[in-house]
Chain A
Amino acid sequence: MPSALAPPTPSLTTYLRSLDEAPLDKSITTLISLLKRRQIRSSRSCALATTKLLIRVVEAGEDGSDGKWSSTQALIAHIRTVGRKLISAQPKEIVIGNIVRRVLGVIREVADRDSETVADLSGSEISGPTSPITITGERSVLPMRLSEFSPRDVLSGRPGTADSVASSTFSSPAAAPQQRPNLMTAPTGTSLFSILQHPQTQTRSTSSPYATPPAGTQSPALRPSPTFKSTISTIPEGGESLDIKAEVLDGLAELLDELSVVDTQIAESALEHIHSGEVILTHGSSRTVQRFLLTAAGKKRRFTVFVAELYPNDHLAVHDTLVNGSLPPVSPEDEGLGEKGRWKALTAAGVTVVLVPDTAVFALMPRVNKVLLSPHAVMASGSLLAAAGTETICLAAKEHRVPVVVLAGVYKLSPVYPFDEEGMVEYGDPSKVVGFAEDGRFIDGVDVVNPISDFVGAEGVGLYVTNLGGCAPGYLYRVVGDHYRNEDIELGRD
């Protein structure tokens, strides 16, 4: 019998539906209470809810009535306030902080682009750090390397921007700038002058070609410099605040896209990691892992998967996923994500799946070829926060020299260094272990603890597979640097 008459339990789906109609303040409060009560649980749901809420915040404008933003600084300050509230609602959910910092990063990038547009009008260097000196039209610094040299300046014949020596050597202006876009957009590295500069103006250098490219754009090598384009086209007069909102919303739409295609992108590397006849150990009901394995199974690779059921927090979801895939009933999280949320169970794809209790991990590990895990969050040091029981699996894997592969989208990657490891572990409902009703006396006399997450050090992990490809734990700091800004890491206290 359908239970359509009961009011829907608050969840991601109901929240997302209400986001469009409800006033902004109410939406913020609702999300805070959903997070506090842990009615939104998984990393991806939290990320999605946070992103959509922040999109609403940007859309609402400075005065809250869909108006403009006077400056990027105002927008940044506002997002920081909202972000602080969300993070303090559930400090153990690292992904919320990640999304807030990504949004701030998008805004700062927009701000930089705008300030560069302004800077270009006065003919400064287009690559390398924007120097305050060049904006005022004074003589520019001697370029240290050829890549800082801009042939465009030679063509436009602006004095004082190009080195006279360089212009004489570069006697063939026939090489049209269009044929050398890679020089203009290549990373400059750091010239010695840059270390003397104020760090805030160095913002341009952190955007490297390895950062998440906005979905649908070309690769950096082919993309012409945006500022180059702006010099040959007419510069829009004033109206900077209109640009801010539209451009930020563009950036946030790209972020939202990234969240929805994370699984597909991660699954693209499935064939590089799984061959036929393998035995894989995994745990939990993570959608990412299921899709990863399904992709390999779809390409006719025959392998066996041992699944640890993660009692007492995740085992029901694991049982359901193994039996049904995501066939009906569709979980509220799948609905809210708007993906083609239907995928069949691994067993239907021809994969042999063996459900084992968590205790059997060490016993089976000698026969396992690799371990696949999906964490709640990943730290910049390479360590991760995952479901309770993960550390047991990683230790057993290390003992038997079995490689551990962690599948995580970049949105799970946090720039915050985990100084307080124990403080990051979340504890859950002890009644899942021993029911209050059945064993009241037991609960009275015995201290029942139910940790939900485990902290696993970086040495436990062999490889991270993100939506940008695979990387070793030691390289994560670079990925962090590509997506977050240093000034956003400290969001201050409320």
Chain B
Amino acid sequence: MSEKVSSAAQAQMAEEPKLSPAELKKRAKAEKQARRAAQKEQEGAPAIPPPTANGVPHGQASQHDEVRQEKKAKIVQAKSVQQSKSSGSQESKGERVAPSSAQSLPARGKTTVAAKEEAKVDSTVVELLSHLYPIQRRANMSGVSKDVHPAVLALGLQISSYEICGSSARCIAMLHAFKEAIHAYTTPRDTSLPRHLVSHYLSPQIEYLRSCRPLAESMGNAIRWLKKLIIEIDPDKPEHEAKNLLSEEIDRFIHERIVVTDQAIAASASKQIREGSVVLTYAKSNIVQKTILQAHAQGTRFRVIVVDSRPLFEGKRLATSLMHAGLEVEYVPFSGLAHVVKDATLVLLGAHSMLSNGRLQSRIGTASVALRAHIADVPVIVCCESVKFAGKVALDSIVLNELAPPEELLLPPSHAPIVPTNTKDTPEAAESNKTKTLHDWASIPNLQLLNPMYDITPAEYIRMVICEYGSVPPSSVPVVHRLANEGM
């Protein structure tokens, strides 16, 4: 045994002078790569997030992370295998060719492994909307910056799980959370509040909220307003005064631009609901709910049709609250749209945002409702606060959209169809023929689920937009936007 070792060692010693400088370089590179690989292996293990037992929105983000870690681990493995092979071959005699081929092998191996992993990940991405991936949802706090205030942390999770849903609600909740965060903020010694607050304190909060769910237009407008406000604060103002000012201004913003506005819009829109009207609405909009309740409180007799859709079933909540208020409500799934539109005399819609080319961005399905009503000559009225007006323009529902996790489209297991087994199959055949359900969709190649959240309704289908500046046609949206959001 020792003889072999000594002879191997002797052989190695004899080999040394024969290695050209090029070979030496290659050997050094190989060793460096081996060292890096070993380092990555150590890093790779703790970064894989622990699997959570939370509900459905386990989060595409964490899933992607896992796959990426797997990918890295595999590359590491491939590299280490190649490295050991190459180092082994260096020790043996007469394997000159092996080192060079072993050097090139890791590169080749890396691309094939990586390509396979890429392909596996991408098959669940719908190519048409690939710019909207990865889907921003969050179920845990992994990877969050330490600057994020607990109130904002909680808010992010609430938004991600649809506990707070609807752009006005999200905007108000965000401003409240920012108020708390600003209250907890202290300016560092060598800078002033206006300069430091936005870029170093608010930005991580906003980034975190974005990672929980893409920001609504109202939230975007509010943030722009807040940033402008902060930057214009006099740097010499003492900190507690500045913070009080910010707090008061945020309260005023919420009050003026959302609360009071909602009352004004409800008062104006409820005048459109006449005696004997049949009001049709889609999904759940807070402002439409307020309008209907106000009209009902004024004593007008009318009935409401609520059209609902999968997977959020927001319309059901609206129908329940209207029923509790004593209204006569008819509730149909989205497939019943054609049946109910012919009975409707007025369509009231809420908005996620109004775009500057007069188009309405709202819950997916709104465009079909508006089109159907337009064809049936039923007036379509949109109730929308000016804080939701955007400077953006869009021509289709594909570029500006948000995707929800496809898992939301899966039915809960109790609803899955009971599959009768084929008694003629042998046990082995039955195992291999085990039927898949849609829950296995990720493992089926070429099958994708798509769950878009918004769509864009063309301006021709909308008769009127009611905002706090009055009742305007959809073409006046950019005017109101300039007035309200850009201060001109």
Contact = CB atoms under 8 A, between A and B. Distances in A.
Which one of B338, B365, B367, B421 has the highest number of Cβ atoms from chain A below 10 Å of its Cβ? B338
Interface string B400-437: 01000000010100011101111101000000010111
Given A362-B371, A363-B401, 15 more contacts: A2-B420, A310-B335, A323-B440, A323-B447, A328-B435, A345-B444, A353-B448, A354-B126, A357-B334, A357-B364, A363-B397, A367-B398, A396-B371, A446-B329, A448-B330
Nearest to B415: A316
Nearest to B461: A399
Contact of A388 (B329, B338, B437): B338
For the complex of A and B, 6 pairs with smallest distance between CB atoms: A359-B365, A363-B397, A388-B335, A363-B455, A347-B446, A389-B335
Interface string A339-366: 0000001111011111111111111101
Interface string A286-312: 000000000000000000001001111
7 contacts: A323-B437, A323-B447, A329-B422, A352-B446, A389-B337, A446-B331, A449-B331
Contacts of B68: none
B49 interface: no
Nearest to A395: B371
A448 B316 CA distance: 11
A327 B433 CA distance: 8
A361 B338 CA distance: 14
A345 B441 CA distance: 13
A329 B421 contact: yes
B433 A360 contact: no
A362 B368 contact: yes
B335 A363 contact: no
B372 interface: yes
A222 B410 CA distance: 57
Interface in B161-190: none
A92 interface: no
Contacts of A63: none
Interface residues of A, number: 63
A440 interface: no
Given A353-B447, A434-B331, A363 B398 contact: yes
Given A311-B310, A362-B397, A388-B338, A447 B435 contact: no
Contacts of A352: 446, 448
B200 interface: no
A392 B371 CA distance: 9
A355 B446 contact: no
Contacts of B340: 449
A445 interface: yes
Contact of B338 (A309, A323, A346, A454): A454
A363 B332 contact: no
B335 A312 contact: yes
Contacts of A316: 411, 415-417
Nearest to A389: B335
B488 interface: no
Contacts of A450: 332-333, 335-336
Given A323-B440, A327-B433, A355-B447, A366 B335 contact: no
Contacts of B139: none
B339 A362 contact: no
B319 A446 contact: yes
A319 B371 CA distance: 28
Nearest to B395: A366
B368 A361 contact: yes
Contacts of B73: none
A130 interface: no
A354 B450 CA distance: 7
Given A312-B333, A367-B398, A355 B435 contact: no
Contact of B423 (A2, A327, A387, A399): A2
Interface string A154-166: 0000000000000
A313 interface: yes
A396 B434 CA distance: 39
A250 interface: no
Interface string B234-255: 0000000000000000000000
Contacts, number: 201
B436 to A, nearest CB: 5
A396 B335 CA distance: 14
Contacts of A448: 330-332
Nearest to B370: A362
Interface of B: 126, 128, 309-311, 316, 319-320, 323-324, 328-340, 363-365, 367-368, 371-372, 375, 396-398, 401, 409, 411, 415-417, 419-423, 425, 433, 435-438, 440-441, 444-452, 454-456
Contact of A351 (B324, B446, B456): B446
Contacts of A361: 368
A73 B42 CA distance: 91
A369 to B, nearest CB: 12
A388 to B, nearest CB: 4
A357 B311 contact: yes
A327 B421 CA distance: 12
Contacts of B309: 357-359
A324 interface: yes
A319 B328 CA distance: 35
A389 B437 CA distance: 24
Contacts of B336: 388, 449-451
A311 B447 contact: no
Contact of B334 (A327, A356, A389, A399): A389
A442 interface: yes
Contacts of A442: 316, 319-320, 323, 331
B435 A324 contact: yes
A396 B368 contact: yes
Contacts of B449: 354-356
B292 to A, nearest CB: 14
A347 B444 contact: yes
Which one of B335, B416, B450 has the highest number of Cβ atoms from chain A below 10 Å of its Cβ? B335
A391 interface: yes
A43 B128 CA distance: 35
Contacts of A356: 449-452
A21 B413 CA distance: 41
A322 interface: yes
A108 B329 CA distance: 53
A323 B451 CA distance: 18
A433 interface: yes
A448 B340 CA distance: 11
A4 interface: yes
B452 to A, nearest CB: 5
Interface string A464-487: 000000000000000000000000
A313 B310 CA distance: 13
B323 A446 contact: yes
B447 A322 contact: yes
A399 B456 CA distance: 14
Contacts of A348: 446
A84 B77 CA distance: 75
Interface string A367-402: 100000000000000000001110110011001000
A3 interface: yes
A360 B450 contact: yes
A135 interface: no
A328 B332 contact: no
A320 B417 contact: yes
Contact of B448 (A327, A354, A366, A455): A354
A13 to B, nearest CB: 12
B244 to A, nearest CB: 45
A1 interface: yes
A399 B371 contact: yes
B72 to A, nearest CB: 29
Contacts of A306: 450
A392 B307 CA distance: 13
B422 A324 contact: no
Contacts of B441: 323, 355
B435 to A, nearest CB: 6
Nearest to B438: A319
A183 interface: no
